[in-house]
Structure 1
Amino acid sequence: MLKIASRDRTILMRVVWGALLAMLCAGPAAAQVSEGPSASGVIGQVFETIRPVTEAGLHGFFQLLDNQPIAFVLLALAIGTLIGKFSFKTISLGSTAGTLLVGVVLSMIAQAAYGITYAIPGILSSFMLLLFMYALGLKVGPQFFSGLRKGGLAFVGIGVIVWSLNWVICYFGAKLVGLAPGYATGLISGSYTITAILGVGQSALASGAYVPPAGTSVEQVGANMAAAYAISYVLSTVFTILLIRYLPRIFGYDAKAEAKLAEAQFSGGATDPVPGAPGALVMGFSPYDLRAFAVTHKDFVGQKLSQLAIDFPQVPIIQVVRDGEVLDLSGDLMLTKDDIITVRGDVHDLIHTDGGLIGPESDVSLARRIPLVVADIHVGKHKHAGKSLAELGQVMPGGVTVQALFRAGNELPLGPKIEVQFSDVLRLTGPDAAIKVMAKQLGGQAILATMKSEVLYLALAMLAGYLVGIVTVTISGIPFSLGTSAGVIMAGVGVSYFRSRNPNFGGPVNEGARSFLQDFGLNAFVAVLSANVGPKVISALSGDTLLWLALIGVAGALIPPLVAFYVGIKVFGLNAIISDGASTGARNSTPSLNAIMEESQSSVAAIPYPVSYALTTVLALIGGYFSMILT
């Protein structure tokens, strides 16, 4: 190998740097020497891109964000998430509210200081929101229908309370202080964060259902709606996130403790997640363990594995190592002296299966290097119907144990006399090869934990939910629809519901991927939303009505869920987190749902959310229409 002295190495580095500087200083002429782009040409192009920004200072920076909207979204996400982590006396904004604030401030500065109006295509924010809703539906689906059975009427009552109070506060508040036509409808739309209410208000104007008074044009009424919407939307979004996040604490409840109680309540006493749910295929605590022994006892030497399986059914042999090699167990192998056997069984039984029975315990890594997996298997053969777990255990390959049994999405208690039925789902643990053999015998497929996500089912389910959501029925001039958000979350609920009954449906979804879709989808949606709302806030920051718009909008956003939460826990007897989730859905505040899930460290608040959300979406559209024609 060629060695270079320190002094020579220094001289060589100087020569190399000198050559590079010469290339940079040579200009375009030097670039003609080679056919491809030179280093100076590439570096020059980079500086040509950056120079307008550096020369224009902050103006160039905000112009860059306008030209590159993706950069705006990522910057708002980064800074907003960082701000959301800071807390003051255990109170923090959270990533969603932080992202919204950063995005609004950036867009307002760009508009006020440099006349730059950000307008990011709405399709980006809509798609991000749909990803969030679908991912959320996947997580809460199995509990959703249980929630309907246990608290459906209460969820409907909470929805009606929030909607009616919001309408009364915004409509009569605007009327009381003498706001011009259009402001009441805009306040309802903004404080409820339902943009479609502006659409039904415009529909009332266009159809002639509402005729503006003399001296007021249709355009002016529309501008009033937009101004009230912009002011109340931003303020109500931020303050509602904070209110919903800390509602349990305001009334003296511990959010985490209440969430655990709610999870136990809606799980029906189950201890294992249903098939397809997060954590379903995680190897948790197990009374079963692997141990290896060297065969020295005379009762084992010369014995065949089939006979030992009969003599010691509680401690099956799953691997044999002889002379440093793992033997094939497909035949009826006979043990010899000094073989190392690996067994898997209940720790209690293994403790008593010591060297006195088999031989000394071995620490040979080859004997203990057996990967164990968890798999959900759908029982697809009728011949196993009616067999007890004790009977079924006799045909299981060595080392496979039953961790849980599910029927119609419900966990059943384990016991030797519990009978397995066709279409049940068995959660088995054991060596990978043995699990696959057992799956074949049961007539199903071993669904194992995976790092992949099922894109096909995601796309088809989201498409179906989206198409259902856009179906619109017009009654008396008022357009009604489920809405794409509600349609997609119900698609996620449906997929997870059917998967809990048959894990073959859609295959497993990696929890990390699902969680990423949920968190990134919502915050990216908020970042885009903030860019487009900020300029509207600037245009509304004038006139004597600004203070009234802020006060009425915030009151219409906060008082209804506050009252509904109290009614939920005191009148309907709901768990605090469930009441909070129902109030959040009734307020149509998806970012707030994320906030209470962060605070409680649980997704259980999302169980009542779709019920009250769908109901109040319809009621809010009706109320928005009448707020316009009654002005």
Structure 2
Amino acid sequence: MDKSIQYIKSILKTVVGIITLPLLFVACPASAQNTISSSGGAIEQVFDTIKPVTEAGFHGFFQLLDNQPIVFILLSLALGTLIGKFSLKTISLGSTAGTLLIGVLFSMIAQAAYGIAYSIPGVLSSFMLLLFMYALGLKVGPQFFSGLRKGGLAFLVIGFIVWSLNWVICFFGAMLAGLAPGYATGLISGSYTITAILGVGQDALTSGAFIPPDDMSVQQVGANMAAAYAISYVLSTVLTIMLIRYLPRIFGYDAVAEAKLAETDFSGGGTDPVPGAPGALTMTFTSIGLRAFTVTHKSFIDRTLSQLAKDFPEVPILRVVRDGKILNMTTDPTVQKDDIITVRADVHDLIETEGKLIGLESDDPQARNVPIEVADVTMGSHKISGKSLDELRLQLSAGVTVQAMFRAGNELPLGPKTDVLFGDVMRLNGPDAAIQRAAKQLGGHAILFTMKSEVIYLAFAMLVGYLVGVITITISGIPFALGTSAGVIMAGIGVSYFRSRNPNFGGPVNEGARSFLQDFGLNAFVAVLAANVGSKVMTAFGGDTILWIVLIGIAGALIPPLVAFWIGIKVFGLNTIISDGAAAGGRNSTPSLNAIMEESHSSVAAVPYPVSYAFTTVLALIGGYLSMILS
């Protein structure tokens, strides 16, 4: 047995040595080259140096992560996303919590085993977070103002409950536990995951608003704040993500079903994405179809296309194929016997009637391969404004179908008597040439789906949102600001809101690109955060103090959103996903918001988030300053 164990160990050392050898070249090239040169450089002698390489390899690996922060971020993202997918009885961490755990684990091991303290520039994490917030704003923009009208007061109350309970638990918990000055402020900052609270606490120290006891220095109080912050930050971030993710399930609700109800409620009953929103220019189910027929009926033979359009307006001809060639439609050709014509109309009518009227159906690929596009067009003609949809259909170019219609960002029911007014947005589907002609008739131009990026809008909108967020007003030593995150998400909401009323304002959002910015931005932010706080966690371990920090920090992080969520659904009658989103905003926990969006397969939880987020950010800074003074 002992020999078997030794044999297995030798194999593992060999494998680890081979894996870590390339890392040594990157992290410690001189050491790695010396190791190989001392063995004569022969491949067969590599195994003689496996043991020293292995012993140095793990240190080299963590040194690599320190020297190359991008490697740390990407490795944390990959492994965190991987473990986030695993579930136990339908419960899983999700990609954000997984990334945080992997990053913190790497950072703690590096500090404990090798004395390496990772420090990645905060500007990288800040920028990634802002990308996430902007992408999220684009998604929820049209629903945001509807959400304010429906539950603005409830969102503010939920935020206030989260903040006040957190402050009471952390401040009085630290007092009852007999913790030294600084710990209460650090607990509030960490359990609330707002680093800026440490800043206002430090301001209270340096300004003399709080004078430490005779046996303590300002530096010791600051160290207490940092220790309490680091431990409670990591624990509360992970546990809050899990709590917010599963709050609806804890109370017996189906998150996916609840999200669908909330989407219907906040969209005003509309089922189509508003103009400019992700997925807006997607072809939905329609009874209108394309079919090709070989002309044999005498009523079609020797008739021009314009004549046939007058005689059969309900069956527009989109293409004529003769002897394997597609005819030029603009020359108004005359249809001949055995031509293959492509028509677009109600599928039922085409099957029941048109085969008998035109001739046998054809499977000719040239006739059937007519691409159908979807486009939004703004009604820009006063001449036809006020006409009913039925009257307008007769004037629109042949082959175009009205898929949806919007007024002031709200979807209108489609019916023959629905009036079309100047400024309305019509979503048309049909061949590109037909859509372009219809757009000209409507006095607008077609906004088609595009894969082009919108860097100009992104950059300017984020710039404006960021500048608004950094505007600070200081009152009695307490800085008041909207915050860059709230400013940028409002910028995204604004862009999306204006697009819902005028699709010419930047065009449609590509959902794939938007979703990537949202997921990658947040998880990269979390990876950087994990690198920077992991080492601080290690330095805070020791004594009974850490037990109190853990207990108070967890209670301050989890109890407030749990109570606020319950009040939201029981007192205000909010949808559980909406109440959950408001609680996430009240907790200032963006990763938690992402978790409930993953769980509910919807972004509707983000509707109340900016309201409670901005409100509690201000309250949290005031509370942090007061906690330091009252210590």
Contact 1:340 1:367 in 2 (8 A): yes
Letter in 1 for 2:434: A
Contact 2:375 2:435 in 1 (8 A): yes
- Give the Cα–Cα distance (whole angstroms) in 1 for the partners of residues 415 and 313 of structure 2: 17
For 2:32, the equivalent position in structure 1 comes to 51
Report the Cα offset of residue 50 of structure 1.
Answer: 9.3
Residue type matched to 1:489 in 2?
Answer: I
> Residues 47, 566 of structure 1: CA spacing in aligned structure 2 closer, same or farther, 3 A cutoff?
closer
Distance across 2 between alignment mates of 1:288 and 1:453? 32
Amino acid corresponding to residue 428 of structure 1 in structure 2 = L
TM-score (norm 1): 0.91
2:281–2:508: 8 Å Cα contact kept in structure 1? no
For 2:490, the equivalent position in structure 1 comes to: 490
Residue identity in the other structure for 2:32: R
Moved more, 315-324 or 424-433: 315-324
**CA distance in 1: counterparts of 2:29 and 2:114, whole angstroms:** 22
Hey, what does 2:245 align to over in structure 1? 245
* Amino acid in structure 2 at the alignment position of 1:443: G
3-state SS in 1 of match to 2:357? coil
Instruction: Give the whole-Å Cα distance in 2 for the aligned partners of 1:436 and 1:75.
Output: 48
Three-state SS of the structure 1 residue aligned to 2:331 is coil
User: Which residue in 2 is equivalent to 1:13?
Assistant: none
Q: 3-state DSSP class of the match of 1:343?
A: strand
Counterpart of 2:10? none
Identity %: 77
Deviation string, structure 1 residues 520-545 (Cα, Å, up to 9, x no partner):
00000000000000011011112321
- Contact conserved, 1:315 with 1:349, CA < 8 A, in 2? no
Give the corresponding residue for 2:181.
Answer: 181
C-alpha RMSD of the superposition = 1.5
Q: Is the 8 A contact 2:27 2:63 kept in 1?
A: no
The letter for the 2-side match of 1:564 is: A
Alpha-carbon contact 2:289-2:344 (below 8 Å) kept:
yes
CA shift digits 1:476-504 (9 cap, x unpaired): 11001000000000000000000001111
Partner of 1:461 in structure 2? Answer: 461
Please tell me whether the aligned partners of residues 354 and 360 of structure 1 are also in contact (alpha carbons under 8 angstroms): no
Aligned to 2:588, the other structure's residue is in SS state coil
Aligned in 2, Cα 1:265/1:551: closer, same or farther, shift over 3 Å?
same
Secondary structure of 2:120's counterpart equals coil
1:451 and 2:448 are equivalent in the alignment: no
Q: Which residue of 2 aligns with 1:502?
A: 502
Alignment of 1:345-424 (within 5 A): 345-424=345-424
- Contact conserved, 2:27 with 2:64, CA < 8 A, in 1? no
5 Å-filtered alignment, 1:215-230, equals: 215-230=215-230
- For 2:274 and 2:162, locate their aligned partners in 1 and report how far apart those are by CA, in whole Å: 33
Take 1:171 and 1:436, find their aligned partners in 2: how far apart are those partners? Answer: 65
Which deviates more, 390-399 or 253-262?
A: 390-399
What does residue range 134-533 of structure 1 map to in structure 2 within 5 Å? 134-533=134-533
Q: Provide the rounded CA distance (Å) in 2 between the counterparts of 1:619 and 1:329.
A: 67
Q: 1-side partners of 2:450 and 2:28: how far apart?
A: 45
**Correspondence list, 1:537-576, <5 A:** 537-576=537-576
The Cα shift of 1:47 comes to: 11
Provide the C-alpha distance between the structure 2 equivalents of 1:47 and 1:122, rounded to a whole number of angstroms.
26
Q: For residues 121 and 382 of structure 2, what CA distance do their matches in structure 1 show? A: 54
Distance (whole Å) between structure 1 residues aligned to residue 627 and residue 356 of structure 2 = 86
Runs of 4+ off more than 6 Å: 44-47
State the distance in 2 between where 1:350 and 1:611 align.
Answer: 52
Counterpart of 2:582 in structure 1 is 582
Whether the aligned pair in 2 keeps the contact of 1:469 and 1:481 (CA below 8 Å) is: yes
Q: CA deviation at 1:628?
A: 0.8
- The aligned counterpart of 2:110 is 110
| Greater shift in the superposed pair: 182-191 or 537-546 | 537-546
Question: TM-score scaled to structure 2, two decimals?
Answer: 0.91
Which residues of 2 match residues 56-67 of structure 1 at below 5 A?
56-67=56-67
What CA distance in whole angstroms lies between the structure 2 residues aligned with 1:194 and 1:49?
A: 43
Note the C-alpha offset of 1:48. Answer: 4.7
**How far off its partner does 1:267 sit?**
1.1
Matching residue of 1:122: 122
CA shift, 1:313, in A, is 1.7
Once the two structures are TM-superposed, the CA of residue 435 in structure 1 deviates from its matched residue by 1.0
2: CA distance between counterparts of 1:351 and 1:45?
69
Give the Å deviation of 1:355.
Answer: 2.7
The 8 Å contact of residues 280 and 508 in structure 2, kept in 1 or not, is answered as no
State the alpha-carbon separation in 1 of the partners of residues 549 and 347 from structure 2.
68
One-letter amino acid matched to 2:568:
G
Distance 2:30 2:413 in 1: 66
Worse-superposed segment, 440-449 or 398-407: 440-449
Maintained 8 Å contact 2:301/2:336: yes
Structure 2 contact 187–229 (Cα < 8 Å) conserved: yes
For 2:234 and 2:613, locate their aligned partners in 1 and report how far apart those are by CA, in whole Å. Answer: 20
Distance 2:31 2:113 in 1: 21
Q: Name the amino acid aligned to 1:119.
A: S
User: Is the CA contact 2:183–2:225 (under 8 Å) kept in the aligned structure 1?
Assistant: yes
Cα distance, 1:464 vs structure 2? 0.5
For the 8 Å contact 2:292–2:367, the answer to whether it is kept is: yes
Please list the CA deviations of residues 78-97 of structure 1 after superposition, one character each: whole Å capped at 9, or x if unmatched. Answer: 11111111111111111100
Task: Provide the aligned length of Structure 1 versus Structure 2.
Answer: 588
User: Residue 579 of structure 1 aligns to which amino acid in structure 2?
Assistant: S
Deviates more, 1:431-440 or 1:620-629: 431-440
CA distance in 1, matches of 2:161, 2:191: 15
**What is the CA–CA distance in structure 1 between the aligned matches of 2:419 and 2:331, rounded to whole Å?**
31
Q: Which runs of no fewer than 5 residues in structure 1 stay unpaired?
A: 1-43
CA contact (8 A) 1:295 1:337 kept: yes
Q: Deviations over 1:334-373 (max 9, x none)?
A: 2111111100011122123333211111111100010001
